[in-house]
Structure 1
Amino acid sequence: MDNNHLAMPETQGSKVEAGGATRGRGRTASVNAAATVAGSGGTRLTKKGFGQVIGVSPGRVTQMIAQGLPVEADGKIDLARGRDWYVQNIDGRGKPPGDLFQAAGPTAKEERDFHDARLRKMKADQLAGDLVDRRAVERAIFGRARAERDAWLAFVDDAALAIAIEMKLDETAIAAILKPLVKDQLKTLAERRHADDT
């Protein structure tokens, strides 16, 4: 590919017009005629324009300049030279230069649209009954576990009384033996459930 005649990609309905002005949505939307000037055989961009082309902030472009990104005498960045420097020094994954623009991540608007769509789907799932409130589920599970624990502890007293009557033994002594055994068993069951959940 001829670095001096790099075609700007159309992304999401954006159109590149004569003189380098861009309109519509997408990563190249802010590269305009004021920021793009004819250079010595190539297109030159401001920090902001170059940053939008490669998908980074103007502040990040300033950092890259400090790392060696070539800048023209007027402070603008030659697109072909800047792109080549970026691929060699920052991108570092061996992508061919022609894939640079397609490889850039989603725009802020695309990320916002994605999260909005996800939120709408969650609300629709909740209305359809496919999604439940996590706090309500946790309250229900905790309530059930507490009721089971209380039932087992009450069982100790009932069992101690039945054994005492049948064996003609002291009910208090039997309860003192059974209660720690049941508590240990409840603790073991709770730990096993917790391990299964993680």
Structure 2
Amino acid sequence: MTALFHNLDATHPPPPEVTKSAFAEELGLSKARVSQLVEQGLPLTADGKRVKRLDALAWYRENIAPHRRKALSDKPNADPRRELDRVKLEAARIELERARGNLVDRAEAEKAVFERARLERDAHLAWVSRVTPRLAVELGVDAAALFSALDREMRAHLVDLAETPLDALTDDD
């Protein structure tokens, strides 16, 4: 809660009085919100221009419900600089994961999966042409009729696979 004064040590404690802007920054609030809090009773100096820091912190803890304080600090864009810092941090994390090889480009991944599926489909269809003559001799049947039947069944099987949701193909029972 004392982010504004984080570089100060015990020999240099935070000042007893701060500007409304400094107090807003310390709590992660907007200046407008601090003005609203002043209207609700947030303690100020006698001239009304500065915030009595310790008194104001105590008042804030007592008068603003804990869940409300959290909601204020978690509200998107409550403090544009804080939101910008959060976005920059997230971008840096993503870039680090990409550099480590833990992230891949979605378009590249989709292209790779599509290419793999196309190669597998072509391999299945080529299998029919490759095994038909051998099976025809082994079974003593007409090769053209066997090819037609196997090709028809393989294509139906591939259509069925294409229409089946992925989760139905896994065996996670």
Partners in 1 of 2:154 and 2:87 — Cα distance? Answer: 59
SS at match of 1:56: coil
Gaps of 5+ in 2: 68-80
Is residue 125–residue 151 contact of structure 2 (8 Å, CA) maintained in 1?
no
SS at match of 1:77: strand
- Alpha-carbon offset, residue 124 of structure 1: 5.5
Letter in 1 for 2:62: Q
More helix by share: 2
Partner of 2:8: 14
Deviations 1:150-169 (A, max 9, x none): 21133345556665664237
- Alpha-carbon offset, residue 87 of structure 1: 0.9
Letter in 2 for 1:150: D
Identity of paired residues, percent? 24
Partner of 1:79: 53
CA gap 1:116/1:156 in 2 versus in 1, 3 angstroms: closer
Letter in 2 for 1:175: D
Letter in 2 for 1:148: E
Is residue 20–residue 34 contact of structure 2 (8 Å, CA) maintained in 1?
yes
Matched, 1:57 2:33: no
Pairwise mapping of residues 91-106 of structure 1 onto structure 2 (< 5 A)? Answer: 92=66
**RMSD after superposition:** 4.5
CA gap 1:10/1:174 in 2 versus in 1, 3 angstroms: closer
CA gap 1:193/1:138 in 2 versus in 1, 3 angstroms: farther
- Alpha-carbon offset, residue 82 of structure 1: 1.7
Give the TM-score normalised by structure 2: 0.54
Matched, 1:183 2:159: yes
Letter in 2 for 1:56: L
Gaps of 5+ in 1: 1-7, 21-42, 94-106
Deviations 1:30-63 (A, max 9, x none): xxxxxxxxxxxxx443321221232323133234
CA gap 1:177/1:114 in 2 versus in 1, 3 angstroms: closer
